[in-house]
Structure 1
């Protein structure tokens, strides 16, 4: 039903998530990121509230990664149906898969990442994700997408994948990358990668436009001079 990876760039401190699902619009419910705090993927039978709850606990600096995850789960009477992964601003990780998780499932912590999934074609799918993230080079978005492609190459989900999302934060309170494919009959991860390749040359420009409009480049659209 879903597989994902949360990750951190050790050089820049960027935090992000790449995720896909057989369900529609996975990016609307499952990925949660906060600059300087952490990233959370909530999946399986998703409770979106867990993402902000865990990030709030991490942001308050009163809970370590593992403690924040379990504190949030304790408030959820249906936690047995959840699968949640967390990475904090220091690269520390936590993960949980309830005993009612769907189908074949797995979760693996790697260096600066956690990969997890359910309704998988095989447990090797998640192992491949973590290894691909660790082995890949480039900026965080490239590494997260490399992990997603590795998952598909290793078998992906037991059924077809229809939606995918990529969300990354840097130093601003808003995501510098927030891309979604809400529904595709085929290859939503490939379509997401194509979106990223189109957005990548403009990513930093949109931050500049927000922080200093006088330095913003023009893209030649009506009204943009």
Structure 2
């Protein structure tokens, strides 16, 4: 019921994820990032605790196998989960349990990993990786290109209703946290439009948090 991609940008240090699902509010449960560490998605009968745990294990700098082992030790039901992981340092990977729902698949690239379940085609994650690697722009644009490629490849077996984009570079909070929590239309296209509107304002919101004395005005009624 979900397809997603986690990625890193070696040049900017940005890490991020993009996800879409037939389920409501998918990004609220499944998407996780941490500046200087990596990006993680926990999906398919999801356990929201696994994303933060994966980031904590990435932060320790252990071997790739240690990441898998740590997650298995923490959740005896890992066989029902699918984890898509992109550490800033280390190997992108997808962990898919043997009870993954429906037609499922996974693919990895140099700087990204994609996975999904209840898919229209098992090749969909590879299409996402190919689109991410071929796209121009920054990490958010490339993640959105991968998500759209998944839609173009058939998406899920059923209709998509929610989508999310989560990313950060050097702030302790996600500088980009955009969600379409429910739509009967085209949530992936709506998410791309939301990013188009948010992108010009992103740096101003960061400045208001870090250096409010130098931050730009809000440009709304009543703002001096």
TM-score class, shorter-chain normalisation, is over 0.9
Query: 1:75 Cα shift?
Result: 2.1
**Structure 1 position 208, deviation (Å):** 1.2
CA RMSD of aligned residues (A): 1.2
Q: 1:47 to 1:132 in 2, by over 3 A?
A: same
- Alpha-carbon distance change, 186 to 70 in structure 1, aligned in 2, over 3 angstroms: farther
Q: 5+ unaligned residues in a row in structure 1: which ranges?
A: none
What count of residue pairs does the alignment treat as equivalent? 224
| Aligned residues of 1:129 and 1:151 also touching (Cα < 8 A) | yes
Distance, in Å, in 1 between the alignment partners of 2:183 and 2:75 is 32
Offset of residue 65 of structure 1: 3.4
User: Which residue number in structure 2 is paired with residue 49 of structure 1?
Assistant: 49
Query: Counterpart of 2:208 in 1: which secondary structure?
Result: helix
In 1, Cα distance between the equivalents of 2:173 and 2:211? 15
| Paired position in structure 2 for 1:170 | 169
* CA-CA distance at 1:36 after TM superposition: 0.4
Q: Is the 8 A contact 1:66 1:93 kept in 2?
A: no
Secondary structure of the 2:174 match is: coil
CA contact (8 A) 1:42 1:83 kept: yes
Q: Distance in 1 between matches of 2:222 and 2:65?
A: 49
Q: TM-score, normalised by structure 2?
A: 0.96
Q: Secondary structure at the match of 1:11?
A: coil
2:2 equivalent in structure 1: 2
User: What is the CA distance between 1:223 and its match in structure 2?
Assistant: 4.7
Is residue 72 of structure 2 the alignment partner of residue 64 of structure 1? Answer: no
Specify the SS of the correspondent of 1:77: coil
- Tell me by how many angstroms 1:78 deviates: 1.1
SS at match of 1:29: helix
**What displacement does 1:142 show?**
0.2
Report deviation, 1:59: 1.5
The question of whether the paired residues in 2 share the 8 Å contact of 1:50 and 1:73 is answered with no
Alpha-carbon distance in 2 for matches of 1:120, 1:148:
13
1:186 is matched with 185
Cα distance in 2, alignment partners of residues 146 and 122 from structure 1? 18
Aligned equivalent of 1:113? 112
What is the TM-score normalised by the length of structure 1? 0.96
Alpha carbons 2:19, 2:147 under 8 Å: kept: yes
Specify the alignment match of 2:201 in structure 1.
202
Q: CA deviation at 1:11?
A: 1.3
> How many Å separate the matches in 2 of 1:173 and 1:214?
20
Secondary structure at 1:166's aligned position in 2? Answer: strand
Q: Which residue does 1:13 correspond to in 2?
A: 13
1:87 equivalenced with 2:86 (yes/no)? yes
1:169 deviation in Å? Answer: 1.0
Which runs of 5 or more structure 2 residues have no equivalent in the other structure? none
